[in-house]
Chains A and B, each alone.
Chain A
Amino acid sequence: MATTATLTLASSDIAGDPVSVTKTATLTKAGSLIDLDQSTGLSRVHLRSATNKVLLAANAEGNNLAAKVYIINKSTDASLYVTVTINAQTIGKLYGGDFMFIPWSQTDTAASIEVAATSWTASTGDIPVEYALFHEDTDFLTNA
């Protein structure tokens, strides 16, 4: 029962020589070589509000346990972005097509991951977002 995440970064012209980085991580439980064994699977929501919405609710029991979060803005419009925050701290903006993959500590119950379709208006249409959580804490189930 394994989950792997591979990131490939490639550019032929951002530097004087080509840049090519490929890194694969096998997702394990905190500080161990044991595979993560729980997942929400891949979920999809359509955002139609510039107000923050909880995508994944934190559970302080998740602190010091391993969890990985994948989020992607599936809009094909490069100008439409989703702002991602943790405990009101903005991490960054996912523009159309952008994705992120981060570990998630949940140091306390305020550390929920929230998203806002900041650039959304009635004329832009919904912004589709897909996400998945891989984790080891059973209590995530009632909060995801």
Chain B
Amino acid sequence: MATTNATIDLASDITDSSLAVSNTTQLNTAGTTTGVNTLTSVTKVLSSTDHVDLITTGSVSTTHAYVYINNPSTDESQYFHVHIGNAVGSGTYDDGTLPTEEIGTLYAGDWMWFPWDVDDDITIKPSTSDDMTVEYMVFS
């Protein structure tokens, strides 16, 4: 058992009264207070706009994991569509009939953090065919 903590700090002055949120959680196995004990950390460089696998269910041996994905680019034209569900490669993309759901778009400098039920692959589609770097970590 390992002890891993995740902390989020949100600060916003969009509203007249500023928002400041800070929360820390320990990353535990499903429904327990036992810490996760497996970490995968990967950096990939993608060079096409194909919709491809990023994290496959076969790479994780549990049904509860925590995922961090980062787009380290500083070029605002370089972003990733992040999906959950099967990749379609260079085929028809997101036509509403495919078994994939777009979660969101990770723009340059953005990161995302979420629990994953390891039921479907996490897939991405880069915005350009330039070399685009994506980083991810999986705790399980």
Contact = CB atoms under 8 A, between A and B. Distances in A.
Contacts of A84: 114-115
B23 A99 contact: yes
A54 B27 CA distance: 26
Contact of B104 (A5, A81, A103): A103
A9 B11 contact: no
Nearest to A103: B104
Contacts of B82: 103
Interface string A13-41: 11100010101011110111100111101
Contacts of B25: 97-99
Contact of A67 (B4, B26, B104, B113): B104
What interface size band does chain A fall in? 35 or more
Nearest to B9: A6
Interface stretch (A45-53, A86-94, A121-129): A86-94
A97 B115 CA distance: 12
Contact of A105 (B12, B13, B102): B102
B69 to A, nearest CB: 9
- Secondary structure at the A interface, as helix, strand, loop or mixed, is strand
Contacts of B13: 1-3
B119 A101 contact: no
Contacts of B105: 30, 64, 66, 103, 105
Interface stretch (B30-38, B42-50, B51-59): B30-38
A7 B8 contact: yes
Interface string A64-89: 10111010100000110101101101
6 contacts: A4-B12, A5-B10, A9-B5, A39-B14, A93-B117, A97-B25
Report the 4 A-B pairs with minimum CB-CB distance, sorted nearest first: A103-B104, A92-B115, A11-B4, A3-B12
Interface of B: 2-15, 19, 21, 23, 25-26, 28, 30-33, 35-39, 64-65, 68, 70, 76-77, 79, 81-82, 84-85, 94, 96, 101-107, 109-117, 119-120, 137, 139
